[in-house]
Amino acid sequence: MLVDKRIYLASQSSRRRDLLKQIGVAFDVLPLRAVRGRMDVVEIPHAGEAAPEFVQRMAIEKAACGWHAVDVRHLLGFPVLGADTVVEVDGAILGKPAIRTEAESMLRRLSGREHQVHTAVAVQQGERVELRLSSSRVRFAVLDAVTIARYLETGEYLGKAGAYAIQGRAGAFVEHVDGSYSGVMGLPLYDTAILLRAFGLVI
């Protein structure tokens, strides 16, 4: 018999919602906004912070911010899941582009090369916090200026680490993935399932 239990998702990502539904997880979305003095998580790397460390810190902070909201709003104490994804190339972190020209620069940088995608998932309930990191290697085909321009016209790059969504039109750019496809999308399902089982959910 399945455990009648839900989680809170501390993310507005539609991709993460779809992926949780895919594995049968019941959840409520918990917006990360100011709650009694605690502001949204600031997604800026510290000086010298490597991509894997940064993405893990972000996932932990998002889960913690979500748990704080559960606590101060006196919500039912279900676990809170926070996640973060970054693209890394040449040791540099590529986050979400703010403007089109920034997205274009990112895609030119990824063209014809291999990069890494790191997604960290953290789950918090009370004082307990568990964390897992998924790192995958992705190789892009060579992208000419016309291909990049057409992709940018779709607007799909908005809100996407590295300026692309592998589950969308940019899937045509990907020659090879070594690792977790769902992790590249933004939520590694294998790692997520392990974490949620540790908190008593049957998946």
pLDDT digit string, tens, across residues 92-140: 999 899 999 999 999 999 999 999 999 999 999 999 999 999 999 999 9
Q: How confident is the model at residue 53 (pLDDT cuts 50, 70, 90)?
A: very high
Give me the DSSP letters along 18-86. Answer: HHHHHTT--EEE-----BTTB------PPTT--HHHHHHHHHHHHHHHHHHHHHHTT-----EEEEEEE
User: In a 3-state reduction of DSSP, which class is residue 112?
Assistant: coil
Whole-number pLDDT of residue 120 = 98
CB 166, CB 121: distance < 8 Å: no
Whole-number pLDDT of residue 125 = 96
Q: Point out which residues pair with 123 in neighbouring strands.
A: 81, 130
pLDDT digits (tens, 9 = 90+) for 133-156: 999 999 999 999 999 999 999 999
Task: Give the catalytic positions in this structure.
Answer: 84
Q: How confident is the model at residue 38 (pLDDT cuts 50, 70, 90)?
A: low
- Residue 36, pLDDT > 70, answer no
Residue 175's nearest CA partner among 144, 147, 141 is 141
**Hey, how many other C-beta atoms are within 10 angstroms of the C-beta on 35?**
17
Residue 8's nearest CA partner among 24, 25, 22, 19 is 25
Residue 119's nearest CA partner among 96, 87, 89, 91 is 87
157 vs 165: CA distance, rounded Å: 7
199 vs 130: CA distance, rounded Å: 9
- Residue 3, pLDDT > 70, answer no
Cα 91 from chain centre: 19
Average pLDDT in the chain:
92
- Residue 203, pLDDT > 80, answer no
